[in-house]
Structure 1
Amino acid sequence: MQFGIFTVGDVTTDPTTGETPDDTQRVRSMLRIAQHADQAGLDVFATGEHHNPPFVPSSPTTMLGYLAGVTRNLVLSTSTTLITTNDPVKIAEDYAMLQVISDGRMDLMMGRGNTGPVYPWFGYDIRQGIPLAIEHYALLRRLWEEEVVDWEGRFRTPLQGFTSTPRPLDGVPPFVWHGSIRSPEIAEQAAYYGDGFFHNNIFWPMSHTKRMVEYYRQRYEHYGHGRADQAIVGLGGQVFMRRNSQDAWNEFRPYFDNAPVYGHGPTMEDFTTTTPLTVGSPQQVVDRYASMREHVGDYQRQLFLIDHAGLPLKTVLEQIDMLAEDVVPVLREEMEAKRPAHVPADPPSHAERVARARAEKEEVR
């Protein structure tokens, strides 16, 4: 099973010091965080995509391309690639390039984004979010899978005799996740193509997450990609840890109370009860996240949000160390001990997908 971290790249004032990083500092801290995660032995680093303050990761492939050159083992991914407002031709080119640069050590997650004003900035209407996601992804698949594409749709100019370059590494496109919090249409899309489904449930109760994942699993089996329990599932989460549980609560409370994504809503006590946010000791994090499989079944990727809300870089690096040393090894052992032999432990790697594609070609012959 893969464990890693994801970032939304928010620029937030540290409520304990009053200091606010500028955009340059925030980008550089994200790079440092990813490299530290690689050195600590985590499996995945994923970045969001945003085009509005207070967020800075507007160009995920630039960041991930750099990280491909300075990390050794991390799977480099996105926690959102905006399939709605990005041109699918540019997505095809950018991520095939990243695939080549990283030697296949990457994947990506398609998402619609939840910031309304972004849509008109790129010439689209948020009310068309679902149709855009469906049409753009269908085109993206063809651009990766077909050498020459003729295409016409609703939302962009037609293509005639178009070849996207570079071609996918070894002729096999990157593995794709579809991220959605509340839209069954996106879970359906993931199931239809046999792709992964990622439920970033950081603000939602597990009862909702369970319903979304169950629906995806049922439709995955319906489309003939395998048994429902073999579908590729990922979850989001967020934690803050100290050796002593009360120290964690005392230290994280001002960040929770003041952060734009948390503050002025439910209390931290209520939020940790109703969502996966876990504040406490490493053992409490292990206990909470080991129970996730009881709600969604055996799954393949768990990502944690740990660098948000104005937390200083030093603190984030400490959180990575605790994850890598005290949480992930125990979780991995517990999860794998209970996983049936027929259920994949990880999302398919590039090498596995290449081998499968070659085997399918041999069968055709």
Structure 2
Amino acid sequence: MPEKHVAPSTQFGIFTVGDVTPDPTTGRTPTERERINAMVTIAIKAEEVGLDVFATGEHHNPPFVPSSPATLLGYVAARTERLILSTSTTLITTNDPVKIAEDFALLQHLANGRVDLMMGRGNTGPVYPWFGKDIREGISIAVENYALLHRLWRENVVSWEGKFRTPLQGFTSTPRPLDGIPPFVWHGSIRSPEIAEQAAYYGDGFFHNNIFWPADHTKRMIELYRNRYAHYGHGTPEQAIVGLGGQVFMRRNSQDAVREFRPYFDVAPVYGHGSSLEDFTEQTPLTVGSPQQVIEKTLAFREYAGDYQRQLFLMDHAGLPLKTVLEQLDLLGEEVVPVLREEFAKNRPANVPDAPTHASLLALAEAEYTREEVTTG
């Protein structure tokens, strides 16, 4: 029999922004079909090399292609067995919360529970009017829409009225969440304390993108979330559920990594034409070098984030060819993540919770139900 997979205390994985960018070394731009199929290949490879999570962003503008994350993840679900399927952004502002509730509950059933998602507002201003929303009300929309989504997954019949969509009367979202357990939700933000507050209020996870900003900014955001999580009575600050992003490019020789990645960095749609590669790697979590350098820099994240539950890396952007990305995943899965797993487990306090999964959330709900039965007699 194959060895049973044990859920890790910290999940390691990758996220994609799904950009269609010319390869600056060849001038060739992949077709949309090629880029979408490459994302599927990358997800399957992630499972093969022992990673835990594949996450996709959501974009509705060129040069990006993942406009329908649930469609992409549903296809990946059919091609994988263990991988947790997530979003690295679900636009809680411009998507109807009813549709989010239905799409991801259905995906839960198809993927046998291997689903969670990250709520975000995105970084593309024009998307708001495209979907009939006002960017000036972005935070308010995010708060209201998620409050409704939270109820839709937990109440069989919902009557609701708010400011930004039509009222609901006696509405039931279908299908219901698998085993009565809603998908775990992360709230993703780079700079908005209101989103950290929202995550803390609901006792959900907080994910800091951690690819642009210096460590002191990330530390302040995570500390805010942890302290407010405790304020709302969900546990101690150390028990809050934290995830981080990161960016890496590796070769066995660090000089080779820098030389190969530089032309991609210089034109990347997310940070190109700005700081030098050297300045950016010094001032942000981007690591370009050897596997050992990636290990050392990633381990240092705990110095300002504390013990945390999820680490995702961005590896397939800026026009990097698929062959190169797959080579990166081999290095990540074979040489980096096994060391990170071991080091993250060392001296981890017993009261720090493991990364949430459908199975762990189901077990928690069953234990709570048993306690209530005992208490009520």
Tell me whether 1:354 sits opposite 2:367 in the alignment: no
Match of 1:269 in 2: 278
Deviation of 1:360 (Å): 2.2
Counterpart Cα distance in 2 of 1:177 and 1:298 = 16
Match of 1:224 in 2: 233
Match of 1:335 in 2: 344
Q: Secondary structure at the match of 1:338?
A: coil
Match of 2:21 in 1: 12
Verify the 8 A CA contact 1:107 1:176 in the aligned structure 2. yes
Match of 1:155 in 2: 164
Give deviations 1:88-120, integer Å, cap 9, x for gaps.
000000000011111111100000111010000
Q: How does 1:62-77 map to 2 (within 5 A)?
A: 62-77=71-86
Counterpart Cα distance in 1 of 2:262 and 2:359 = 44
Counterpart Cα distance in 1 of 2:340 and 2:359 = 26
Match of 2:140 in 1: 131
Q: Which amino acid aligns with 2:214?
A: P
Match of 2:211 in 1: 202
Q: Which amino acid aligns with 1:266?
A: S
Match of 2:291 in 1: 282
Match of 1:49 in 2: 58
Match of 1:211 in 2: 220
Deviation of 1:294 (Å): 0.6
Counterpart Cα distance in 2 of 1:148 and 1:215 = 34
Deviation of 1:258 (Å): 1.5
Match of 1:94 in 2: 103
Q: Secondary structure at the match of 2:35?
A: helix
Structure 2 regions of 5+ residues with no counterpart?
1-9
Match of 2:48 in 1: 39
Deviation of 1:364 (Å): 3.0
Counterpart Cα distance in 1 of 2:306 and 2:124 = 31
Verify the 8 A CA contact 1:336 1:345 in the aligned structure 2. no
Deviation of 1:338 (Å): 2.4
Counterpart Cα distance in 2 of 1:298 and 1:26 = 35
Q: Which amino acid aligns with 1:87?
A: D
Counterpart Cα distance in 1 of 2:139 and 2:294 = 35
Counterpart Cα distance in 2 of 1:177 and 1:170 = 20
Q: Which amino acid aligns with 1:33?
A: I
Q: Which amino acid aligns with 2:273?
A: H
Task: Flag as ranges the 4+ runs of structure 1 deviating above 4 A.
Answer: none
Residue 243 of structure 2: which of 215, 234, 243 is its match? 234
Q: Which amino acid aligns with 1:352?
A: S
Counterpart Cα distance in 1 of 2:174 and 2:216 = 43
Counterpart Cα distance in 1 of 2:50 and 2:340 = 14
Residue 319 of structure 2: which of 310, 317, 339 is its match? 310
Deviation of 1:260 (Å): 2.1
Counterpart Cα distance in 2 of 1:221 and 1:287 = 30
Deviation of 1:134 (Å): 0.4
Residue 328 of structure 2: which of 319, 341, 349 is its match? 319
> How many residues are paired up?
364
Tell me whether 1:111 sits opposite 2:120 in the alignment: yes
Deviation of 1:358 (Å): 2.2
Q: Secondary structure at the match of 1:31?
A: helix
Q: Secondary structure at the match of 2:346?
A: helix
Q: Secondary structure at the match of 2:311?
A: strand
TM-score normalised per structure 1: 0.99
Counterpart Cα distance in 2 of 1:3 and 1:355 = 22
Tell me whether 1:179 sits opposite 2:188 in the alignment: yes
Q: Which amino acid aligns with 1:362?
A: T
RMSD: 0.8
Counterpart Cα distance in 1 of 2:234 and 2:52 = 26
Q: Which amino acid aligns with 2:247?
A: Q
TM-score normalised per structure 2: 0.96
Deviation of 1:261 (Å): 1.7
Counterpart Cα distance in 1 of 2:249 and 2:203 = 34
Q: Which amino acid aligns with 1:361?
A: Y
Residue 144 of structure 1: which of 153, 156, 174 is its match? 153
Tell me whether 1:255 sits opposite 2:253 in the alignment: no
Give deviations 1:3-50, integer Å, cap 9, x for gaps.
000000001000000000111111000000000111111110000000
Q: Which amino acid aligns with 2:260?
A: E
Counterpart Cα distance in 1 of 2:344 and 2:283 = 23
